[in-house]
């Protein structure tokens, strides 16, 4: 498949290889996603991963913020969401580095339409 070959992902406005830029869009969660979304104007692969990073990590942040004050449930949810966040962070960075446009359910579709 041509899309999985990092060499076939096109050029970026930053001069960084597209698969590396996609990985970096996840590195600092929604902050790095926002940076790459603002910097990258043309490469759809990088813009997709930047937008998906923003949506995923903003949603996790908001869920943790909303649920934390709830007695007991907040602590349990915070622990579960932390593990889920770390797992997603690693998987999404690896998939981007491999040159794969890995779409999460619902979020991936929104990111694809918005990027």
33-59 pLDDT, tens digit per residue, is 999 999 999 999 999 999 999 999 999
Owning domain of residue 14: 2-114
Mean pLDDT for the chain overall? 92
- Write out pLDDT tens, residues 72-110: 999 999 999 999 999 999 999 999 999 999 999 999 999
pLDDT for residue 115 is more than 90: no
Helix (H, G, I), strand (E, B) or coil at 20: helix
Structure tokens at 19: 């698969």
* Three-point CA angle 94, 52, 87, nearest 5°: 45
Cβ partners under 8 Å of residue 59, min gap 6: 107
Other C-beta atoms closer than 10 Å to the C-beta of 40 total 23
Question: Is the whole model's pTM more than 0.85, yes or no?
Answer: yes
Q: How many domains does the chain have?
A: 1
**Which structure tokens are listed for 39?**
């910097």
User: Is the model more confident about 10 or about 1?
Assistant: 10
What local confidence, expressed as pLDDT, does residue 10 receive?
A: 84
């Amino acid at each position: 498949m041509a899309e999985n070959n990092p060499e076939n992902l096109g050029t970026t406005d930053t001069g960084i290889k597209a698969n590396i830029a996609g990985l970096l869009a996840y590195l600092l969660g929604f902050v790095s996603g926002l940076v790459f979304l603002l910097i990258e104007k043309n490469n759809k692969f990088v813009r997709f991963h930047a937008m998906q990073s923003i949506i995923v990590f903003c949603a996790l942040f908001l869920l943790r913020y909303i649920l934390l004050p709830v007695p007991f449930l907040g602590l349990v949810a915070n622990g579960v969401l932390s593990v889920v966040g770390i797992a997603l962070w690693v998987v999404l960075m690896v998939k981007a580095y491999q040159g794969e446009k890995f779409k999460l359910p619902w979020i991936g579709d929104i990111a694809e339409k918005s990027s």
